[in-house]
Structure 1
Amino acid sequence: MEVEGDLETLGEQLYTRIYPKHKDNAGKLTGMLLELPRHVLSQMLQDEALLCAAVEKACRALQLTQEPSRVTSKDDDDVSVSSDSLGEQLFDMVDVYNTGHSQKITGMLLEQHKDAVLSLLSDPKLLEEQVNVALETLKKQKERTDLLDADDTEKLGERLFSLVEEIDPLHANDITGMLLEMEATVLQELLSNPGMLKVAVQKAQAALDTGQ
């Protein structure tokens, strides 16, 4: 209940600031901004420029939802311009949510059928749901990539260590650690080229000797 109270207070403060310049749409604009993260809302209330920029974005998005004719009145011969127009309008609306991934999310949403994109432009609630789904997808992709990267590095390290150990068992740990600082593509070459690996190990041995 406390969180709801906080949100209600933020909403009242936002509405009070928005109303003087946007009497007709103050309620809708406030509702759109309240979808943003709590810390962003707090910043807006302390920074007039930030608030004005967010309200401007919300106004553009609201205007687009109220003017579907701008999207649907294009001729069939003008498909490319229509697609560009859709993309621009969708980007403006997605950008209101300040996700930090407006470009990627817009691209993901534009992969849908044109009719589905038009629905998003005319239904802010549906758009919000789609933005959240896209954000979740991006988050999972990043987690998968991070896991794969960590897994690949670990496997590379194990393979490299076993080869380095055959050349210099005494300093295998230190040398492998030094070699793992190289680019992944270089490491792959070392694993497939014994001569190249031997040279790299000798360089690492020399660096170790100098360090001691």
Structure 2
Amino acid sequence: MDEEENLEMLGEQLYSLIYPKHKEDAGKLTGMLLELPAPVLSQMLQDESMLTEAVEKALRSLQLPQESSQEEIEVTYKEEDASVSSDSLGEQLFELVDVYNTGHSQKITGMLLEQHKDAVLHLLSDSKLLEKQVHLALKTLQEMNQGETDVSDSSEADETDRLGEKLLSLVEEMDPLHANDITGMLLEMDPTTLQQLLSDHTMLEAAVQKAQAALNT
């Protein structure tokens, strides 16, 4: 569908919504609203409060001198629409981003919403641009996650070494001959359990005895 056909379809939909409440001025109001960007018009068709506000602005503009009426609606719309339609804009963007099944739809939508509102509206109407930005955002997220994983792996390794040293010194007191083997077996437990072993001597003794039994089988 080309732009002209799309605009005509939007006009018909807008007119059908405006006509019941504003029969006399429906044509003029629809014409004024059609001067706004197509993505904004699409958003209005899905957001009743946004459409109502735009129609009220257009009505006020009809009271002004004709040459300034359209300028008035465009200026007031740009000044006031940000807070009214941001939630709706985010919902629409999320639905489009979610189609790509990245597993990070919420984060990517948040990243894209940080752009200027006009740029976000452009994304809603340009699928190729949206796809490109989704892939860029996904790449950024993956790089960030990789960096966090590297740091996390490093810190976990350091933590395991520290716990291993403490455990070894305690196990050596119970079984000097097999201390290294037993400590190695105990280190296969999760860090939380290892911390408990270090703070509970009875629990540690029981774990050491189990490890000794396993070594003797």
Q: TM-score range by the shorter chain?
A: 0.5 to 0.7
- Paired position in structure 2 for 1:38: none
- Distance apart, 1:112 and its partner CA: 3.0
- Paired position in structure 1 for 2:180: 172
- Distance apart, 1:166 and its partner CA: 1.5
4+ residue segments displaced more than 6 Å: none
- Paired position in structure 2 for 1:69: 41
- Paired position in structure 1 for 2:189: 181
Gaps of 5+ in 1: 1-23, 26-64
- Distance apart, 1:88 and its partner CA: 1.7
Aligned pair in 2 of structure 1 residues 145, 174: CA closer, same or farther (>3 Å)?
A: farther
- Distance apart, 1:86 and its partner CA: 0.8
- Distance apart, 1:171 and its partner CA: 2.3
Aligned pair in 2 of structure 1 residues 175, 203: CA closer, same or farther (>3 Å)?
A: farther
Does residue 95 in structure 1 map to residue 67 in structure 2?
no
Does residue 205 in structure 1 map to residue 208 in structure 2?
yes
Q: Given that residues 105 and 134 in structure 1 are in contact (C-alpha distance below 8 angstroms), is that contact kept between their aligned partners in structure 2?
A: yes
- Distance apart, 1:161 and its partner CA: 1.7
Q: Can you list the C-alpha shifts for 1:107-161, whole angstroms capped at 9, x where unaligned?
A: 2222333333222213323212210111101211222232223212211121112
Aligned pair in 2 of structure 1 residues 172, 142: CA closer, same or farther (>3 Å)?
A: same
TM-score (norm 1): 0.54
2 CA distance for matches of 1:163 and 1:126?
56
2 CA distance for matches of 1:179 and 1:199?
17
User: Which of residues 131, 154, 158 in structure 2 aligns to 1:155?
Assistant: 158
Q: Given that residues 164 and 201 in structure 1 are in contact (C-alpha distance below 8 angstroms), is that contact kept between their aligned partners in structure 2?
A: no
Please tell me the residue identity of whatever aligns with 2:119. A
> Relative contact order (alpha carbons < 8 A, sep ≥ 6): 1 or 2 greater?
1
User: Which of residues 147, 150, 170 in structure 2 aligns to 1:144?
Assistant: 147
2 CA distance for matches of 1:150 and 1:209?
30
- Paired position in structure 2 for 1:134: 137
Q: CA RMSD in A?
A: 3.3
Please tell me the residue identity of whatever aligns with 1:129. K
2 CA distance for matches of 1:201 and 1:94?
51
**Over alpha carbons, which structure has the higher Rg?**
2
2 CA distance for matches of 1:161 and 1:130?
46
